[in-house]
A and B are shown apart, each in its own frame.
Chain A
């Protein structure tokens, strides 16, 4: 019974999704001299004061906490861009705007640690929250349009949003799949018993209960 396994299983917790987002690269401006750092994911540095450099978000946060750098907020995190995105999100009910895959987590980390480096911090923050709420509501409306399809395509959904609906969607699709199979069987059975010869030429017509 696939639809009845433990409901508490969700593949990732929000904290884990945030952890993965910390590998995204961000631009920082260091204010100290430091030799290059050699990591498995690559080499970062050398760090020279006032020379912008791209580092993983976790490293940027660590340096920022020690007062060794300032953030350069990513281009999409500006009032103008976010206002545009919010407008577009509100206009279309079915499509999602292109945002970084982990925009929720990056925004959260930047708001927590780089408050002073983001211009119009409060405006930006409320815009990001609005966008997130609009998108979540839209995603939920989209879930209602499932009609037992086996494949669902929704593009531009971010990591946190996917993670949020994953347990629900997985189980819902399993249930749809389970209930669609008997319908198909019944359909075929009634057809083949009545008109075995013409069954192939007939256009497919799903049986509806009256």
Chain B
């Protein structure tokens, strides 16, 4: 089974020794068309490597990773979903419950996976995911430079229109692995800020200028917190 590459439980603090420290959990769901690279992205984030042979995801797979931000340990749970329409219609709904963030993935070399994003957004709204839940857009397979069908400008426009951050990346390219990390870390930072200041929960992303760029700035590329 493809699941759980990095999903093994990382050695956390012994609860018996640290009874007052509770690790916060952030739950992120990853959705998008079949074969856009959802499983590879989650593997890359949770396990650090690009899996050589991934298979079609059937139903929902789960992976997790514990990260440390500003001295706080946070458990990031990533729910990797099947892309085929029939699964999303009736099987995946259970996993939209109480999500803290949504990652939409498309394949930059396949226009249909981009144009289908609007049905994924409808899907997400249909599952009553509150508007304040952060959403990011990820264009995957950027390493296939000669095959790109979705221009960055188009993707950026779409992301802006839907109040999402856009990342273009490649789960396959080892050079990009920090960028994959940055996608998830950015969400975690955002959630961390949002949760420590509940009164800010009225907006989606903050209104100040955001790195809507296709690449994150240098700081984030080094794997630190981009926010």
Q: Do A and B form a real pair?
A: no
